């Protein structure tokens, strides 16, 4: 445990940020899973709605530096390819 006042404050801040980051990352992963499930079930309408939400969550994670912006772009590209593959078939 920290002894200095500033170190104690830093510990409190880190715990708060860690919880916030964990919740945000979990929400992003859940949104991505929903897109994948909709694609697996070949439900085009549900997949498009889930994709919209997933894009929003991914962008938010990249904006707050939770994930790298290139990783966010990769994920968005991958998911949109999957969803658009439903429309062509």
Count up the domains in the chain and report the number. 1
Tokens found for residue 36: 């994948």
> Would you say residue 1 has pLDDT above 90?
no
The secondary structure of residue 64, as a DSSP letter, is: T
- Give the mean model confidence (pLDDT) for residues 4-20: 97
- Write down the pLDDT at residue 87: 83
Domain with residue 55: its CATH number is 1.20.58.110
The secondary structure of residue 89, as a DSSP letter, is: -
Domain that holds residue 28: 5-88
- What is the Cα–Cα distance from 50 to 40, expressed in whole angstroms? 13
The secondary structure of residue 65, as a DSSP letter, is: T
Q: 89: pLDDT confidence band, cut at 50, 70 and 90?
A: low
Q: What are the pLDDT digits (tens) for 16-59?
A: 999 999 999 999 999 999 999 999 999 999 999 999 999 999 99
Helix/strand/coil percentages in the chain, nearest 5? 85, 0, 15
């Amino acid at each position: 445990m920290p002894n200095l006042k500033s170190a104690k404050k830093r510990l409190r801040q880190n715990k708060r940020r860690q919880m916030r980051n964990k919740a945000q990352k979990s929400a992003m992963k859940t949104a991505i899973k929903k897109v994948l499930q909709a694609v697996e079930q070949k439900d085009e309408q549900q997949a498009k709605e889930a994709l919209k939400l997933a894009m929003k969550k991914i962008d938010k994670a990249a904006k707050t530096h939770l994930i790298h912006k290139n990783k966010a772009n990769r994920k968005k590209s991958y998911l949109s390819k999957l969803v658009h593959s439903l429309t062509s078939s």
